[in-house]
Amino acid sequence: MFNQNREMMKRLMLLFGLLVLMFLPALAQGEVPVIPDVDYLVGNFGILMGTFLGVAAIASFLGEMLIRLFKMTGNTGKIIVVFALAVAISFLGSIINVGYLAEAPWYQVGLWGMLSGATAAGLRGTNLLFFKSVIEFIIGLILQKEPKE
């Protein structure tokens, strides 16, 4: 009985993970924004926040600035910095009502921030544990269960 439930959960997680990944190319329509300098970022912040890729571009740009400022060498630290910045930028856009997350509920802003952080950090195949925890979190939201601590 336990093995059947475990196999069913594995299949459900795989299916849901593939469904989530299936929509990423649709979100990545158009050209990837290029941010040449800080003046461009400040002047076009509202425009850049209008798309999923814009949030990822802002996180990549600011993350690279922080990485160079603090002279970080570890790959894991770089990924964490860019990922955290993408989530923070998504919440900032929601708070100040700018971009595609302007009127979204907090959990959707968090999920979109995590996905744009994964895109910005290039986590597609490098950290499967991260994706497993994201998928478990999303399944917990769907099933309305409390996350494990």
pLDDT above 60 (res 137): yes
Looking at the chain, the whole-number percentage of residues with pLDDT higher than 70 is 71
The answer to whether 58 and 48 are in contact (CB under 8 A) is: yes
Q: Rounded to two decimals, what is the model's pTM?
A: 0.63
Q: What DSSP designation does 30 have?
A: S
Query: 104: how many CB neighbours lie within 10 A of its CB?
Result: 16
**Cβ contacts of residue 47 below 8 Å, gap of 6+?**
54
4-35 pLDDT, tens digit per residue, is: 777 778 778 877 777 766 665 555 555 667 78
